[in-house]
């Protein structure tokens, strides 16, 4: 059960469902099973290692700096995206709602740990929260309030308390929930607009959070440079009138975007994104430490970051005559990489 021990559930139940090559406990282990684990882990490590190389190339050759660091999803979105599927989750919310709540509470500390593990050490680049089907009409206002937001908000507060902003990548329309996001500490998030009404976003969140997005992807694909330019000006004058706005597409810019339209976005930013007076960068305060009045992220039996604790692994060895702390550090480093492999695959 995911609510009993999430990491064990991923190993014993989710991975065998995730790929036909892996076998569940009790099934015969095959050559393909073992090779799938070896090749998967090595390929994953190669994939992650490439991030630094290509990030440096983008920065040096193109002047493009990273926009995100660390990955986060809401516990309810993890259930819908990776563990149950949206149709099954919809049934679960009706027929076994309490189990959904328990599962979300059990996932929360691990999602928090994974987000902080990949966060920018300098605190300059935000953690990204990919927001999918936690909004109305995919879930009811009650389910958003009592499950989605109740288990996500403590994670966001803790990330801010650790000195990191979160980019709320609000794909779709989130107008019904802007007041909930406004409960978060000032400056703690960047709210990315996809299809949410611009005026409403500015009225509820403007001045408290940085805003971004708002240039429709279909416009970048099928529109003309003049249409893109007009939209950019509208968004800049609406969301960026008081500063604190990042000009960006509503969602990730895809390969089908016309080059001349992307160029029009850049040109519009240079023309309309200019203020009449110079402004010095704002000195944003660090995140406030959690207080007893704030909700806390629940803990599970196995702590985040651990697959097999040293106390359990130690029993497999004979007497250690040297410095046991050396063996413990080596094991915990390897075990932590295994944990990262599991949870990163789940959240990405």
Ramachandran angles phi, psi of 197, nearest 5°:
-55, 130
pLDDT of the chain, 348 residues: tens digit per residue:
555 689 999 999 999 998 889 999 999 999 999 999 999 999 988 988 888 788 888 889 888 877 778 889 999 999 999 999 999 999 999 999 999 999 999 999 999 999 999 999 988 899 999 999 999 999 999 999 999 999 999 999 999 999 999 999 999 999 999 999 999 999 999 999 999 999 999 999 998 999 999 999 999 999 999 999 999 999 999 999 878 999 999 998 989 999 999 999 999 999 999 866 554 555 555 555 444 444 456 555 678 999 999 999 999 988 888 899 999 999 999 999 999 999 998 998
Task: Quote the tokens at residue 40.
Answer: 């998967």
pTM for the structure as a whole: 0.89
The whole-number pLDDT of residue 51 equals 80
Q: Enumerate residues 6+ apart whose C-beta is below 8 A from 125.
A: 65, 66, 67, 68, 69
Are the beta carbons of 206 and 239 closer than 8 angstroms?
A: yes
Residue 339 CA to residue 300 CA, distance in Å, equals 15
Round to whole Å and give the CA distance between 195 and 286.
Answer: 30
**Which among 133, 200, 143 is positioned nearest to 172, based on CA atoms?**
133
DSSP 174: -
């Amino acid at each position: 059960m995911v609510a009993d021990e999430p990491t064990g559930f991923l190993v014993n139940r989710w991975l065998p469902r995730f790929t036909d090559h892996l076998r569940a406990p009790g099934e015969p282990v095959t050559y393909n099973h073992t090779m799938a684990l070896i090749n998967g882990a090595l390929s994953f490590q190669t994939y992650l290692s490439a991030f630094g190389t290509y990030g440096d190339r983008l920065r040096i050759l193109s002047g493009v700096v990273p926009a995100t660091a660390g990955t986060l999803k809401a516990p309810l979105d993890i259930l819908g995206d990776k563990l149950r599927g949206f149709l099954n989750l919809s049934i679960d919310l009706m027929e076994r709602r309490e189990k959904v709540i328990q599962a979300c509470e059990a996932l929360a500390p691990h999602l928090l740990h994974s987000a902080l593990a990949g966060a920018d050490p300098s605190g300059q680049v935000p953690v990204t929260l990919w927001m999918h089907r936690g909004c109305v009409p995919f879930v009811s206002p009650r389910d958003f309030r009592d499950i989605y937001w109740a288990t996500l908000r403590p994670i966001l507060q803790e990330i801010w308390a650790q000195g990191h902003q979160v980019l709320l990548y609000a794909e779709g329309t989130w107008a019904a929930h802007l007041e909930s996001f406004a409960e978060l500490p000032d400056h703690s998030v960047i709210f990315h607009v996809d299809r949410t009404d611009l005026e409403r976003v500015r009225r509820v969140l403007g001045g408290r959070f940085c805003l971004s997005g708002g240039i429709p992807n279909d416009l970048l694909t099928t529109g003309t440079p003049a249409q893109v330019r007009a939209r950019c000006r509208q968004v800049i004058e609406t969301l960026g009138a008081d500063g604190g706005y990042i000009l960006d597409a509503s969602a990730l810019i895809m390969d089908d975007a016309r080059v001349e339209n992307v160029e029009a976005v850049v040109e519009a930013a240079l023309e309309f994104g200019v203020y009449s007076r110079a402004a010095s960068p704002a000195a944003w305060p660090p995140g406030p430490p959690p207080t007893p009045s704030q909700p806390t992220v629940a803990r599970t039996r196995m702590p985040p970051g651990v697959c097999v604790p040293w106390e359990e692994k130690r029993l497999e060895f004979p007497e250690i005559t040297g410095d046991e702390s050396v063996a413990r550090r080596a094991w915990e480093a390897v075990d932590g990489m295994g944990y990262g492999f599991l949870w990163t695959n789940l959240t990405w």
